[in-house]
């Protein structure tokens, strides 16, 4: 079957590499923030407890060219809806890109009507609609003349990590933090330092990856409601998964006691309070020795200090220290006086940001 996975925009290649590493899946970019690949039910179950970069996993119901809005309705109505949808309420999220004489709302409306009419033709039953909290969530994408309709298998997004008890003023998604760790080439045997750790998202994601623990152990995906999936089989596979117990060398540094306390709260929630060291250190002055340095640099939005001086002083500490690889999320990569070896441009909320990798 054909599947989609949503992820952080601009990092589709990182997710594709993860899917290949985990399950040997050959993923390609469907559009920004979404990859597509072929897989089976076991792949779906495994991705819901093993993937660290995906937000949602979806099964494709329709993937066809269209010329006008009514084609969206026709392709939806012709799909084998009765085999994929339960007798439950549903909702449609529409996304449209390109030059069209209609909106994303129009796409969602025509898909919804196509679902109602096609399901009623097949079963004699009219499915109810719930746009606020549907049992079944459908995603409709129209990119130029390509129409793709998929059923959400995940429910609550995989990026919502349960250890996020204490939130930073500028929170970093766990999926984004893990993607940065992949870009840094982090492995369980490496010494990792986050010199501006805040609420410790990067150190916790590193510890989860190094121990191979599921990032969403609390997840109850939408599989139980869907006729072609077995929620019990997913839970059995997750319960049988075995984690590792390597010796970790991870430091969460911050110069502010407020965020060190926050980091400790989240580390305890994740079960790593004794595995990750929380250190009082100023990135402008503290020496750095690590295989990987991965951090979310201050953007300047809530920081009053001179960013140029902060970035320059921190870069000096990196060059003076013993660091193999440095990866940062920043809106001001030009302020780092180093030449990056990799760069990924990403949206960060409504801000344009970049993940940049260096070899100091």
Which residue ranges of the chain lie beneath pLDDT 70?
Answer: 300-305
For 237-290, the DSSP string reads HHHH-----PPPEEEEEES-HHHHHHHHHHHHHHT-TTTEEEEE--TTT---EE
Sheet holding 351-358, edge to edge: 276-280, 249-254, 191-194, 289-296, 322-330, 351-358, 342-348
Can you give the pLDDT at residue 94?
Answer: 97
- SS3 call for 98: coil
Distance separating alpha carbons of residues 343 and 328, to the nearest angstrom: 10
CATH domain 174-212+246-358 topology? Rossmann fold (3.40.50)
Q: What is the pLDDT of residues 251-310, one digit of tens each?
A: 999 999 999 999 999 999 999 999 999 999 999 999 999 999 999 999 864 455 688 999
Distance separating alpha carbons of residues 274 and 187, to the nearest angstrom: 19
Can you give the pLDDT at residue 241?
Answer: 96
Domain 2-152 has CATH 3.30.2130.30: yes
Can you give the pLDDT at residue 300?
Answer: 67
Can you give the pLDDT at residue 305?
Answer: 61
| pTM for this model (two decimals) | 0.95
Can you give the pLDDT at residue 349?
Answer: 83
The residues spanned by each domain of the chain are 2-152, 174-212+246-358
Distance separating alpha carbons of residues 87 and 341, to the nearest angstrom: 52
In which residue are the tokens 């997004």 written?
157
């Amino acid at each position: 079957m054909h599947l989609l996975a949503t992820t952080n925009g601009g990092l589709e290649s990182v997710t594709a590499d993860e899917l290949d590493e985990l399950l040997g899946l050959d993923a390609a970019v469907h559009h920004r923030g979404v990859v597509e690949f072929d897989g089976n039910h076991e792949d779906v179950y495994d991705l819901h407890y093993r993937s660290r970069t995906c937000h949602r996993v979806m099964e494709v119901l329709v993937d066809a060219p269209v010329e006008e809005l009514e084609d969206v309705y026709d392709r939806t109505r012709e799909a084998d809806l009765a085999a994929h949808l339960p007798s439950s309420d549903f909702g449609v999220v529409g996304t449209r890109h390109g030059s069209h004489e209609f909106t994303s709302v129009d796409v969602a409306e025509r898909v919804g009507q196509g679902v109602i009419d096609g399901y009623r033709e097949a079963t004699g039953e009219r499915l109810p609609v719930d746009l606020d909290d549907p049992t079944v969530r459908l995603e409709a994408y129209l990119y130029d003349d390509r129409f793709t309709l998929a059923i959400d298998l995940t429910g609550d997004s995989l990026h919502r990590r349960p250890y996020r008890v204490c939130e930073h003023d500028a929170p970093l998604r766990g999926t984004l933090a893990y993607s940065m760790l992949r870009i840094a080439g982090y492995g369980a045997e490496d010494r990792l330092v986050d010199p501006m750790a805040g609420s410790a998202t990067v150190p916790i994601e590193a510890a989860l990856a190094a121990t191979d623990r599921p990032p969403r152990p609390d997840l109850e995906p939408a599989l139980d409601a869907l006729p072609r999936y077995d929620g019990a089989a997913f839970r059995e596979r997750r319960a049988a998964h075995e984690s590792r117990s390597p010796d970790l060398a991870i430091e969460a540094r911050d110069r502010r006691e407020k965020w060190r306390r926050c980091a400790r709260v989240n580390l305890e929630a994740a079960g790593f309070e004794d595995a990750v060291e929380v250190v009082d250190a100023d990135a402008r002055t503290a020496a750095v020795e690590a295989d990987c340095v991965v951090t979310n640099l201050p953007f300047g939005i809530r920081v009053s200090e001179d960013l140029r001086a902060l970035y320059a002083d921190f870069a000096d500490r990196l060059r003076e220290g013993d660091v193999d690889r440095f990866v940062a999320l920043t809106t001001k990569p030009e302020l780092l006086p180093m030449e990056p070896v990799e760069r990924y441009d990403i949206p960060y909320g409504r801000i344009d940001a970049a993940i940049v990798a260096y070899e100091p």
